[in-house]
Amino acid sequence: MCGIIGYIGEENAVYFLLKGLKNLEYRGYDSAGIAVLSDVIKWKKVAGRVEELCSRVNPREMSGRIGIAHTRWATHGAVTERNAHPHFDCTFSIAVVHNGIIENHRHLKEILREKGHKFSSDTDSEVIAHLIEDALLLNRDFVSACMHAFSSLEGSFAAIVMKEGEHKIVGVRKDSPLVIGVSARGIFLASDIPSFLEWTNRVIYLHNYDMVVVDADPAPDACGDVRNVRDMCDVRDVNNHCGASHCGALSALTEKHASIRIYNLNEGLVQRPVDSVEVDIEQAKKGEFRHFMLKEITEQADTIKKAIQQDEETVKNVIDAIKNAFGIFFIGCGSSYHACLAGSYLFSRIAKTHVNAVLASEFENYEHFLTDKTLVFAVSQSGETADVLDAVRVARDRGSRVISIVNMMGCSLTRESDECLLMNAGPEICVLSTKTYTSQVTLMAMLAYALAGNYDDFVSEVKRLYLDIYNLTSRTMRERLCEVAKMLADKEHIYLIGRGLQYATALEAALKIKEVSYIHAEAFAGGELKHGPLALIDKGTPCIVFVSKDNASKIISNAEEVRARGGYIIGISSVNYDFDCWIKVPDSDMLNPVVQIIPVQILAYQLALLRGLDPDKPRNLAKSVTVT
């Protein structure tokens, strides 16, 4: 989804912004743009990749210490240079980048047009610049004009604006992510932490309706309401301490430093703490790997161990909450939903506890079953998925308790949850979920075992799995799967079947194949084949079958039904049940959803390569889907 970044500091903003945009690419986008402020605002936009933008920006022609940039994932208006951000007011002296959807943009545009404003794009975002321009006409200063403009927006938005003649950037967020990065080289506002992680791990998380003003020319009496950056960076040479008893900030701000003020549009001036993120920057780099997807697949031997390193007290609270709940839901989107489905089987099989797995986007249909006794597990890698956040709000409105399972610390979802379990998988940069999917499933298995009083056995099982996963991601296995991929690369359709836990795996496997190779892949519960899908089977149609020892006979019969109609059977199991092609994986009982998905992750990766596609950035998709 759209990514935004702003920079204000000592150095040329162009470098930080273009590099920051590259770091945001993983979110998914179709166009990009940058604007830099010196005396005037200069900008460049492309309906294409960030590399193209980089090649069109000449740092000699475009430089300045303040700037904003954007990767756009089109929602309103086609993928064109004209619709790429930044967007401007009528005089092109106010620039804005925006992520989210301004739901009342039509109404606002009408009013602004009546006042004579001329729009240059088809986007909803452009209204922000014109609203600020309009507010300035009423003799407001830039900051209060921004405040005024932001207050009239409905929908979801994270936006950053700058204006000629103002040495500041102003950001705002509501239901779309925006974080501040505090570094000695400058201040960043961005959609997520990886965009600036190589310069700082010190972050300020903004809350809904927070508006931040980062000022390169802070007022000399800026005490109390100005949080000095040097102070926050732990710079020790404090020469000019403000003597006021109420204020721990520096009062004399040299030109070297910017200041940060945070206002909440509802509450006025607020203080937000500076946190340190414990993420190793190397984790967000490809290292020796060609693609993040492969790197993240091979990390799984470690990440599933990290998934179960949870604070005992938190796990105890979660288990108590499960025991006391009347009605439990697991909700998520995409791969996270598939983990929820696997989780519902795990809870049933291991802990004999009933859980409803529901797509977050469908959850509102269940609202009449929600009470203050209901427990909702919101599962999301990013913790920013708009459908999940909406669903959580539905639950909270009904007084239900919310426990989140997330990977990104400080994300919006954690702030809307009563308890939070972190996956500890490290940054996942590839648009496709791989390691975080297996972490989610592992965490759910952990909860089910803890609920059943078998936590210790489970921990030994996960430790044992390390070697299995290591082998499954080895070069030998990758080469073997490359051979299988060669057989499948030209196919139009691939079907996948499983029962129980293996049905959840089949769904996730189909998603992996289709999103990265663009081959139509569809999963069915084995028992459903005879109710329709068998009609699709033709001579040579590939069908991947997931088999667990405990339910082998039924699914093997289903596979035979497919073969009898000409289908080509690829089995993923510990035993070769006379498959046309066998991919051997160890049988890991309740943890089969973790081990059996790995060969298909690799297969999908190989298919993408064979079809000349970039596995890290599938077309039309976004890592963090911040619109509903």
What is the set of active-site residues? 2, 623
Least Cβ distance, residue 385 to ligand G6P (angstroms): 3
Nearer to ligand G6P, 216 or 602 (CB): 602
Contacts of 190 (CB under 8 A, 6+ apart): 3, 4, 5, 6, 20, 24, 178, 179, 181, 196
Nearer to ligand G6P, 149 or 359 (CB): 359
Q: Does 547 bind ligand G6P (CB under 6 A)?
A: no
Q: How many of the chain's residues bind ligand G6P (CB under 6 A)?
A: 16
Least Cβ distance, residue 490 to ligand G6P (angstroms): 25
Site of tokens 């006021």? 244
Nearer to ligand G6P, 99 or 335 (CB): 335
Q: Which range binds ligand G6P by CB under 6 A, 86-94, 377-385, 520-528, 604-612?
A: 377-385
Least Cβ distance, residue 236 to ligand G6P (angstroms): 39
Nearer to ligand G6P, 156 or 228 (CB): 156
For ligand G6P, what does the binding mask look like between residues 379 and 398, x meaning CB under 6 A? -xxx--x--x----------
Q: Are 251 and 223 in contact (CB under 8 A)?
A: yes
Least Cβ distance, residue 411 to ligand G6P (angstroms): 9
Site of tokens 């859980």? 355
Q: Which range binds ligand G6P by CB under 6 A, 237-245, 334-342, 581-589, 591-599?
A: 334-342
Cβ burial 12-38 (10 Å sphere, 16+ → b, else e):
bbbebbbbbbbbbbbbbbbbbbbbbbe
The single residue among 301, 333, 342, 609 that binds ligand G6P, judged by CB under 6 A, is 333
Q: Does 334 bind ligand G6P (CB under 6 A)?
A: yes
Q: Does 623 bind ligand G6P (CB under 6 A)?
A: yes
Least Cβ distance, residue 284 to ligand G6P (angstroms): 16
Cα Rg of the chain, angstroms: 26
Q: Which range binds ligand G6P by CB under 6 A, 63-71, 94-102, 332-340, 565-573?
A: 332-340
Q: Residue type at 511?
A: L
Q: Does 625 bind ligand G6P (CB under 6 A)?
A: yes
Taking the C-alpha atoms of residue 579 and residue 560, their distance in angstroms, rounded to an integer, is 9
Q: Does 432 bind ligand G6P (CB under 6 A)?
A: yes
3-state SS class at 468: helix
Token couple for 242: 């403000």
Q: Mutual orientation of helices 455-472 and 435-451 as an angle, nearest 10°?
A: 160
Site of tokens 């592992």? 442
Alpha helices by DSSP H, 452-565: 455-472, 475-488, 501-517, 552-564
Least Cβ distance, residue 515 to ligand G6P (angstroms): 7
- Written as one string, the DSSP assignment of 387-441 is HHHHHHHHHHHTT-EEEEEESSTT-HHHHT-SEEEE-------SSS-SHHHHHHH
Q: Does 161 bind ligand G6P (CB under 6 A)?
A: no
Residues paired with 173 in a beta bridge: 158, 210
Taking the C-alpha atoms of residue 215 and residue 196, their distance in angstroms, rounded to an integer, is 19
For ligand G6P, what does the binding mask look like between residues 167 and 196, x meaning CB under 6 A? ------------------------------
The single residue among 433, 541, 606, 626 that binds ligand G6P, judged by CB under 6 A, is 433
Q: For residue 335, which of 413, 414, 430 has the smallest C-alpha distance? A: 430
Q: Does 336 bind ligand G6P (CB under 6 A)?
A: yes
Q: Does 400 bind ligand G6P (CB under 6 A)?
A: no
Measured between its terminal Cα atoms, the distance across the chain in Å is 11
Least Cβ distance, residue 429 to ligand G6P (angstroms): 12
Least Cβ distance, residue 139 to ligand G6P (angstroms): 44
Q: Which range binds ligand G6P by CB under 6 A, 48-56, 71-79, 498-506, 619-627?
A: 619-627
Element (H, E) at 324: helix 312-324
Q: Which positions touch ligand G6P (CB under 6 A)?
A: 333-336, 380-382, 385, 388, 431-433, 621, 623-625
